[in-house]
Amino acid sequence: MKHLSTLLISLAFAASAASQAPGACDIQVLTDTCRGRLKPFHYNAINTLHINLKSIKQTPEVNLIAMPGMIYRIIVNISSMPEGTEVSVYNMPKGSKKRSALYTYNTDSLKKSHAGSFDFTEDANRCGRIFVDYTIPEASPKLCATGCAVILSGWESSDEQE
């Protein structure tokens, strides 16, 4: 009986996954589109974001570790995010007086792939982290109610370039 209930739950889950609307979040597909753009960098980390749109604009922040002297590539895929989503990469966290944007892109500037990449060398004067901020528009009848994004990062030491 226990195995039968497990089987029924599994079948129900598979049926609901198969009936998802087109454009639903598929983290594996988003990740696969980023992997090819990572080369020749070594894979470092992946971070995923799942959101439900709210009646107010959302601004989640993700931070990634960055070691001084290393060269990094960050690839963000926002193809499953609502139109109007913007992604900015910063050198410092929200609220810092020395914060400056290193790179910004949005769903309009990335019309075809909705994936953007940014290469940088970590400076010893920074706090050893890089901050990725999403600006997600408020819910409206024109926008999907949910979204997801993937950040893939890789590293290359400055010694490898010589």
Phi, psi for 117 (deg, rounded to 5): -130, 155
* 119 in Cβ contact with 72 (< 8 Å): yes
Q: Is residue 18 part of a domain?
A: no
Q: Is the pTM of this model over 0.75?
A: no
Q: Is residue 119 part of a domain?
A: yes
Q: Is residue 48 part of a domain?
A: yes
Model pLDDT for residues 94-140, shown as the tens digit of each residue: 999 988 888 888 766 655 667 788 888 877 556 688 899 999 988 88
State how far the alpha carbon of 89 is from the alpha carbons of 67, 153, 162, in Å: 16, 12, 27
CATH code (residue 102): 2.60.120.1050
Q: Is residue 134 part of a domain?
A: yes
Task: Please tell me the distance from the alpha carbon of residue 156 to that of residue 151, in angstroms, as a whole number.
Answer: 17
Q: Which domain holds residue 51?
A: 24-161
Q: What is the average per-residue pLDDT within 60-75?
A: 88
So what's the pLDDT on residue 24? 64
Q: Is residue 38 part of a domain?
A: yes
Q: Is residue 7 part of a domain?
A: no
Identity of the amino acid at 123: D
Q: Is residue 108 part of a domain?
A: yes
Q: What is the average per-residue pLDDT within 66-72?
A: 85
Model pLDDT for residues 28-46, shown as the tens digit of each residue: 888 888 888 888 999 988 9
Task: Please tell me the distance from the alpha carbon of residue 59 to that of residue 65, in angstroms, as a whole number.
Answer: 20
Q: Work out how many domains the chain is built from and give that number.
A: 1
- Residue 107: how many CB atoms within 10 A of its CB? 17
Q: Is residue 95 part of a domain?
A: yes
- In the predicted model, is pLDDT for residue 21 greater than 60? no
Can you tell me which residue has the tokens 């994936």? 115
